[in-house]
């Protein structure tokens, strides 16, 4: 048989409280109530505490250390209107609640608990840092975010740590316009398009820790994220210089230009200047004039040919025949066609029955 050891939970009493105040000491003429009102810091870490209690006399409490205990619920803090820092990491808290009177809370540490939903922080409108990393969630569960809580924190929250919580989407975080640091390591983020939308909204973001997500295996992931988040100065512990950022921005601009060019069906012709345009117009005009010439009429070709070959022959009919060459071979009418006298002409009502004459 294995022996079972029962560990008695520690209760918060005045005797424990007086031992956990750091260097502050009670004055000789000071009552306990007066002394407790002066207390600003209480160090209850690793004391095997299961319940938050008996702190209502500490009206000016601003920093409370309760990490590494056995606390299951956040209770009995309605008095803590001056509380600014609360450390509750590594407990067994399953529900985020009980902080509706902590309206001046600046930093909240809740890592390594059992919290599934980030909620009930609507009254904490001064909250600047929220650390909820590595919750001990049931298999298959992931951390969720109440949109009402996020909206209430949108103007104040600067630092958010949600690492190791099975988070597969950060779309809802786009409303956190003041966020400067996002730690979302070892989650299940996969979409570059989603990151582009969110980082485009977080214009104040300068520090990002995102390693350990599936999306990190995408080609050129780091370069693409640097372009998405224009003010990013630190990513996964590595500094981002202005020189590298400008280089990547230029690379993106060139890529976009090539993409737009490839999407055009017909590209305009490349010209060297106005002369090319004039030359093209002249060519088009000559083609149009040639197409309007009536069939059967003689023309002056490059080698003096018409309906013939480049050896200078000329063959045509117009109620008669005429055959000749540039070599002086006589035609059917007895006249000679010579290179020196090669202008062909014909009249509409000629006297030779329409035979082309040599002039």
pLDDT tens digits along 168-220: 999 999 999 999 999 999 999 999 999 999 999 999 999 999 999 999 999 99
> pLDDT at residue 234 above 60?
yes
3-state secondary structure of 152: helix
Q: How confident is the model at residue 342 (pLDDT cuts 50, 70, 90)?
A: very low
DSSP 55: -
Q: Residue 308: what pLDDT?
A: 40
Contact at 8 Å (CB) between 202 and 223? no
CA distance 157 to 128: 4
Element (H, E) at 108: strand 107-109
Question: Two tokens at 117?
Answer: 């939903």
Q: What is the pLDDT of residues 254-273, one digit of tens each?
A: 777 777 777 775 455 544 44
Q: Residue 92: what pLDDT?
A: 97
Phi-psi region of 111 (alpha: psi -120 to 50; beta: other; left: phi over 0): beta
Q: Residue 39: what pLDDT?
A: 95
> pLDDT at residue 4 above 50?
yes
Q: Residue 314: what pLDDT?
A: 43
CA distance 157 to 151: 10
């Amino acid at each position: 048989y294995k022996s079972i050891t029962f560990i008695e939970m520690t209760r918060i009493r005045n005797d424990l409280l007086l031992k956990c105040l750091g260097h502050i000491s009670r004055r000789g003429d000071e009552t306990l109530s007066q002394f407790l009102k002066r207390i600003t810091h209480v160090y209850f870490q690793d004391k095997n505490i299961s319940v938050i209690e008996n702190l209502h006399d500490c009206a000016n409490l601003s920093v409370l250390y309760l990490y590494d205990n056995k606390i299951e619920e956040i209770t009995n803090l309605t008095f803590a209107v001056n509380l600014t820092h609360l450390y509750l990491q590594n407990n067994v808290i399953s529900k985020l609640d009980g902080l509706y009177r902590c309206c001046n809370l600046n930093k909240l540490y809740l890592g390594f608990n059992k919290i599934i939903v980030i909620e009930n922080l609507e009254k904490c409108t001064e909250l600047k840092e929220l650390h909820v990393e590595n919750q001990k969630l049931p298999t298959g569960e992931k951390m969720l975010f109440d949109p009402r809580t996020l909206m209430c924190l949108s103007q104040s929250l600067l630092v958010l740590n949600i690492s190791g919580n099975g988070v597969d989407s950060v779309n809802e975080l786009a409303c956190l316009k003041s966020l400067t640091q996002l730690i979302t390591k070892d989650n299940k983020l996969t979409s570059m398009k989603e990151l582009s939308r969110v980082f485009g909204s977080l214009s104040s973001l300068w520090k990002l820790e995102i390693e350990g997500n599936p999306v990190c295996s995408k080609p050129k992931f780091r370069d693409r994220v640097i372009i998405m988040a224009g003010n990013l100065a630190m990513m996964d512990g590595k500094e981002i210089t202005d020189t590298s950022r400008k280089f990547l921005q230029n690379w993106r601009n060139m890529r976009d230009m090539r993409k737009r060019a490839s999407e055009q069906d017909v590209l305009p012709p490349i010209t060297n200047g106005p002369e090319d345009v004039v030359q093209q117009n002249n060519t088009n005009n000559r083609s149009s004039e040639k197409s309007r010439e009536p069939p059967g009429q003689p023309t002056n070709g490059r080698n003096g040919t018409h309906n013939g070959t480049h050896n200078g022959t000329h063959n045509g009919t117009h109620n008669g025949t005429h055959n000749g060459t540039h070599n002086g071979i006589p035609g059917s009418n007895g006249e000679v066609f010579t290179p020196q006298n090669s202008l062909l002409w014909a009249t509409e009502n000629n006297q030779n029955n329409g035979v082309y004459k040599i002039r």
